[in-house]
Amino acid sequence: MNILIIGATGLVGSAVAAALAGAGHDVTVLRRPGGRALPYRSVPGDLTDPASLKRAAAGFDRVVHAGAPLGEELDLAGVDALVDAGSPLVYTTGAAVLGGSGDEDSEPEPHPFVSWRAEAERRVLAAGGRVVRPGMVYGEGGGGVPGLLAAKAAERGTGVYIGEPGVRWPVVHVADLADLYVAVVERAEPGTVWHGMAETARLDDIARALGGGTAAPWPLEEATAELGPLAGLFALDQDVSSDKTRRLLGWTPRHTAVVDHLKAEPPAPAR
């Protein structure tokens, strides 16, 4: 297939582009003005310019949006532009859109930090697109959340977690997630939701892995003063199933020991 990747310079998008090219697909990437060149054909466009997205996305067999979220107004305008372009869309949201526990068929109840993502999903699915909801992404020395926690561990000399101990999050290694996108692109029916969760891990265990074996709570009020509404998401216990995705798409994650991985290969601290 002829596939456009949006967000190909990021951790997820770069892995997805490489996996799709490795599977024999013809990959094109969206390149914003002044953006970094990649070893693929490119088309001009910018996530902050919905009209450019519509022009860029026309005529592809699939468009995979793995770009960073920019907020409600731009994200929804971008979805509308990509839908209007007419190419089948594979759109990335995340586990937090469920607001806690659930599976691929659960109705979204998004955490306030990502409140608009339920509407983005609705628009994509109504147009016959596919939605991918990853857990916390790690691996290849990257990942926004692991990088943030690594930075706090370096700053404080111990791992940190927000809220109560025992809060769980679904997680996925970026290589396994890229394999899922290939499966969704190649085999998923229109108007479907797919979950990229390889395992469920405790955030305090992740904090200890990044803190050299120790971790301390970061009070929610203090964390909120620094991180804003994102801090509340760290206190949200999430137990999300990917059983349907594994069963119907044959997705079998190979990386299922995030704590051991982060001990051996800690991410670069986010700046």
Domains of the chain: 2-136+174-196 (3.40.50.720), 138-171+199-239+254-264 (no CATH)
| Segment 94-146, tens digit of pLDDT | 999 999 999 999 999 999 999 999 999 999 999 999 999 999 999 999 999 99
pTM check: above 0.85: yes
**CA angle, 219 as apex, 213 and 221 as ends, to 5°?**
155
pLDDT for residue 209 is more than 90: yes
Mean pLDDT of 239-265: 97
User: Which whole number is the average pLDDT over 187-216?
Assistant: 97
Residue 271 has pLDDT above 80, yes or no: no
Torsion-angle region of 73 (φ positive above 0: left; ψ -120 to 50: alpha; else: beta): alpha
> What are 142's strand-pairing partners?
139
* Per-residue pLDDT at 76: 98
Give residue 92's pLDDT: 98
- Could you give the percent of the chain with pLDDT greater than 70? 100
How far apart (Å, rounded) are the C-alpha atoms in residues 93 and 153? 27
Q: How far is CA 211 from CA 49, 60, 146, 263, 269, in A?
A: 40, 45, 11, 9, 12
Q: Give the per-residue pLDDT at 269.
A: 86
> pLDDT above 90 covers what percent of the chain?
95
> What was the pLDDT predicted at 12?
97
pLDDT at 262 over 90: yes
pLDDT of residue 5: 98
pLDDT tens column, 132-184: 999 999 999 999 999 999 999 999 999 999 989 999 999 999 999 999 999 99
Q: Which residues lie below 8 Å from residue 157, measured CB to CB, with a gap of 6+?
A: 211
On average, the pLDDT of the chain sits at: 96
To 5 degrees, how large is the angle CA 69–CA 141–CA 186?
60
Residue among 85, 145, 84, 94 nearest 118 (CA): 94
Q: What is the pLDDT of residues 212-244, one digit of tens each?
A: 999 999 999 999 999 999 999 999 999 999 999
Q: In Å, what is the CA distance from 85 to each residue of 9, 59, 150?
A: 22, 8, 40
Q: Is the pLDDT of residue 78 over 80?
A: yes
Measured between alpha carbons, how far is 55 from 193 in angstroms, rounded to an integer? 26
